[in-house]
Structure 1
Amino acid sequence: MQHDRNIGAGRDGRCELCGRAVPELTRHHLIPRARHGKRRTQRRFAREEMRAHILWVCRPCHKHVHAVCSETSLEARYNTRERLLEHPDIRRFIEWIRSKPAGYLPRTYSKKG
């Protein structure tokens, strides 16, 4: 069985956005991999910076980030943990999901912008 490099235990088993302890975390690239080949992105960020800047997040947080932000806006505006937490929809979601048990999987609706 092949191990998915984008799923792991993360730093301490806690989501870096909501802080919940969960059995599996997913790797969120702060600069989306789909944007790494774009000239604009290559001018703004070094290759190692693009590859190294990741967060380990739970599936619900990861899905929500991608549901509310386009890859372009993630690259341009929300490319740090602090900036993600400033996004009103993400902040509201994180405040809500913190009270849910580790295995809870909410529905996610697309509101990209």
Structure 2
Amino acid sequence: MGRPSQRRIEAAIAAAEAAAARLVPDICPLCRRPIPHQAKSSRHHLVPRLKGGTHLGTVRLHQICHSAIHARFSETELAGTLSDVVALRSDPELAAFIAWVRTKPPSFHAPTRMTQQRREQRANARFS
């Protein structure tokens, strides 16, 4: 039996590294907790699709973190000044959420609701 080619060795190494990467959970860039495979998670478009972000970057977040973003901000706000994780993390209201959720286990999930005040603001903005 002959010696394997360099190309086959590199392909085998790449396959092993990819398999190992699947075993290591992703880290949520918002709360910086691991995202276990059994945890609810989703992809967040940094620029909303409705605002031209269909082919721009996405990040994988815990579902509770993703829901918190969309409960607090409109698509216009997200497209304008909050189109990266650093800007999201620096928002005071979201920073309070992050501080709270960091105390929860990585697979924690709870329903996220928009506040009554936020719902009224959005309703008024639509009719203005």
TM-score (norm 1): 0.70
Larger relative helix fraction: 2
Partner deviation per Cα, 1:48-94 (whole Å, 9 max, x = no partner): xx623222111000000000000010001100111111111111111
Q: Which has the higher contact order (CA 8 A, sep 6+)?
A: 1
CA-based RMSD of the aligned residues comes to: 2.2
Q: Which amino acid aligns with 1:78?
A: L
Percent identity between the two aligned chains: 29
**1:87-98 equivalent positions in 2, closer than 5 A:** 87-98=91-102
Q: How many residues align?
A: 92
Structure 2 CA distance, aligned partners of 1:99 and 1:61?
13
SS state at 1:51 partner: coil
Q: Name stretches of at least 5 consecutive residues in structure 2 with no aligned partner.
A: 1-21, 122-128
The answer to whether 1:110 aligns with 2:105 is: no
Greater Cα radius of gyration, structure 1 or 2: 2
Cα shift at 1:12? 4.7
- Report the TM-score, using the length of structure 2 for normalisation: 0.63
1:19 partner amino acid: R
Confirm or deny that 1:14 pairs with 2:3: no
Say whether 1:70 aligns with 2:74.
yes
| AA matched with 1:20 | R
